[in-house]
Every structure is written in structure tokens, then in C-alpha cells.
Amino acid sequence: MQKNLTISIDAMGGDFGPEVVIPGIDIALESTPELQVLLFGNEKKLIPLLDKYPKVREASTIHHCRTAITMDEKPSTALRKGRKISSMWQTIQSIKDGHSGVAISAGNTGALMAMSTIILRQMPMIERPAIAAIWPTLRGESIVLDCGATIDVTSKHLVDFAVMGEAMARAIFGLKKPTVGLLNIGVEEVKGLESVKEAGEFLREAPLPMDYYGFVEGDDIGKGTVDVVVTEGFSGNIALKTAEGTAKQIGEYLRAAMKSSIFSRIGYVFAKGAFNILRKKLDPRQNNGGVFLGLNGIVVKSHGGTDATGFASALGLAIDMAKSNLLKEIETDLKKYKKKSKKIAEQKSQK
């Protein structure tokens, strides 16, 4: 973690590999000219592409890798086939080796999570990793975690996620005391899963630099009721995908409505600027990227099917992470609540 703006990039990840990754880096370099990239992938494929993007070539160091993980490979197969030699493995290994602070891949999520966990290992006191997403809200942006890494959680895992989430909110949003809510299916204390209730009881008293809000419901995410929404990976992933689906659905309704009459078509011409603003707001490429938290290193996952603009946006997130002090923030906070956490474990074992 010496150089702040060096990022390790799996050039072969995603549905389109280097064809999207290289132009994506080119876009990111416009706003971040100091970016340096360690590019892991097949030289033969990378060199001709880099000839077309001289700025990227200048900013890159190529590390040739013999194999690449495909998008549909099972994590177990990926680990067997891609151990050490794949571009994905090498990308993660490079942060382990201290060559850069953050790794990014648009590859297969399961394989990326499995390799990241094996190479980087969990942080001390963190049992299970989480994927954090940046969610656009009516108030700005919130962090939602976990979006799919860990299902079947205990209250301790949820508290870990809250700690990592508030540290991330402080690191990338610059907030002093982020508000944190636990996703639940009712705002009354009586409802919901036992693990969520227990985590709520703990967070209310936790000596952490955050403002525990209480339970929030699904519609609070988009409202921006809290800066950090904490949930387990199953419901978090379903919330994320459902919101994406709903946005797409409404976009379709809007398109159909604007074509419904000659007047609406005229109206569309006048309001084209407004529709462009809206289109940008709803563009899933603008909020691309999930951050793996809880490991000894930061790995950013870009959507596999995205284009250069989308990859550049995930890379922007990776840059934000590289500039931040996230791992240290998490570590400090973990130490703060270590005592409290032990208490919970003791109470549990007495049950």
C-alpha cells in the first residue's frame, strides 16, 4: 500500500474482457491523470489494444497471465484451474504483495470472492466478508451492505457489517458520524429476525463513531433515511436487484407513455434535456461497483456486463477506495468494539 494511486486491474474479467477494460481505464484517466495501473492479462490481447489507447499504455505495467477465469465457471473450478496463474488471482495477489492498494475485476463474482478470501484472508475479528454497494438516494448516496457475500448471518456478523459500513461512509463520504440502520420488515422493535433484533440491541450501545438510527424498511433505502443500510447478503442482493429492475421497468413505462400521442412526442422534444438528466440519474453504469469488505485488502467488483463507461465508474470507486484510509478505519473501529463483541459471544455461549 505504498503508492496511493496504483490500482491492480484484472484486464480479462467481464463479458468483454480487455475490450471494455482498456477503454474504461482511458475514461478514468481523464479525471484522474495520476492513476497508475498494474494490468493483469494476456499480453497478446492487451498490446494491440494498448496501441489504440496510448494514454493507458503509458499509465500501465503489463503482467502477462496465461489463463483467465470465465464468467460461468463455478468458484471451485476457477480455484482449481486459475490458482496462481489466472489474471484474477494475480490481480488480487498483487495487493497482497503490496504492489497496489486496491484490486478491481469485472469477472465472475463467486470466483473473485473465493480467491480474494483465500489470498487476502479475513481481517482479525471479522468472520465473514460483505459486499458494499453505493446506492443513489433522494438525499445523495448511501452504502448498502451486504449485497450477496454472506447469507445466513448471526447478529455478530451484522454488527461487523455495520462497523465496516460506517468506516466506509466516513472514508469515502467524509462523514464524522454516519447514520446506520438495520434493514428489517417493520420499524417496531418486536418485528423481524432474531439476529437483526440482537444486532440492534448491541448497536444501540456500541462505542462507535456512528449514529445508530434503528430499523429501516426497504423504502427507506431510496429515501436516504440513513447513510449506511446493514442487512445480510440474501435480502441485500434482492433489494439491490429489485431496485435495478424497478428502475428499468419505470424507464420502459416512461418511454411508452412519451410515445403514446402526438402531444407527448412534441413534449418529449421540448423536454429532451430533462429526460437526459433523468436518464443519467437512472443509468446503472453510473453506480457500478461493489466493494468486498472484511478482507486484508480492498477488492472492487465491476458488473460483468457493463461497458467502458460502467467500468470507468467502478474504477472511480476503486480510486476513491485507494485514496481513503478504509482498512485502517475499520481496524481501529474493530478494536473499539472488541470488548463489547466478546461480551456478546459470552452471552451466546451461556444460552
Contacting residues toward a second copy, per CB under 8 A: 72, 74, 110, 137-138, 148, 151-152, 183, 185-186, 188, 190-193, 217-223, 231, 233-235, 237-250, 252-254, 257-258, 260-261, 263-264, 266-275, 277-278, 281-282
Closer CB to a second copy, 1 or 271, in the complex: 271
C-alpha torsion angle, residues 39, 43, 44, 49 (rounded to 10): 30
What is the C-alpha to C-alpha distance for residues 41 and 62, in angstroms, rounded to an integer? Answer: 8
Smallest distance, Å, CB 165 to a second copy?
17
Beta bridge partners of 134: 143
Closer CB to a second copy, 98 or 305, in the complex: 305
For residue 137 the three cell numbers come to 438516494
CA angle 211, 330, 105 (to 5 degrees): 115
Beta bridge partners of 290: 133, 301
Name the amino acid, one letter, at 60.
S
Closer CB to a second copy, 63 or 157, in the complex: 157
What is the C-alpha to C-alpha distance for residues 188 and 182, in angstroms, rounded to an integer? Answer: 12
What is the C-alpha to C-alpha distance for residues 194 and 222, in angstroms, rounded to an integer? Answer: 25
Closer CB to a second copy, 102 or 183, in the complex: 183
Beta bridge partners of 286: none
Smallest distance, Å, CB 226 to a second copy?
13
Closer CB to a second copy, 110 or 214, in the complex: 110
Smallest distance, Å, CB 7 to a second copy?
27
Smallest distance, Å, CB 291 to a second copy?
17
Closer CB to a second copy, 15 or 19, in the complex: 15
CA 289 to chain centre: 5
Smallest distance, Å, CB 67 to a second copy?
21
Closer CB to a second copy, 77 or 347, in the complex: 77
Smallest distance, Å, CB 75 to a second copy?
8
Print the SS3 string covering 14-28.
CCCCHHHHHHHHHHH
CA 99 to chain centre: 21
Please check whether residue 105 is in contact with residue 7, taking contact to mean a CB–CB distance below 8 angstroms.
no
Smallest distance, Å, CB 101 to a second copy?
29
Output phi, psi for 253, to 5 deg: -60, -45
Closer CB to a second copy, 47 or 277, in the complex: 277
Smallest distance, Å, CB 171 to a second copy?
25
Q: 322: exposed, middle or buried (C-beta count within 10 Å: 0-12, 13-18, 19+)?
A: buried
Smallest distance, Å, CB 108 to a second copy?
10
Closer CB to a second copy, 185 or 345, in the complex: 185
Output phi, psi for 134, to 5 deg: -90, 125
Task: Count Cβ atoms below 10 Å from residue 157 Cβ, excluding itself.
Answer: 23
Q: Where are the alpha helices (DSSP H) in 70-217?
A: 75-82, 87-96, 109-120, 155-173, 194-205
What is the C-alpha to C-alpha distance for residues 112 and 161, in angstroms, rounded to an integer? Answer: 19
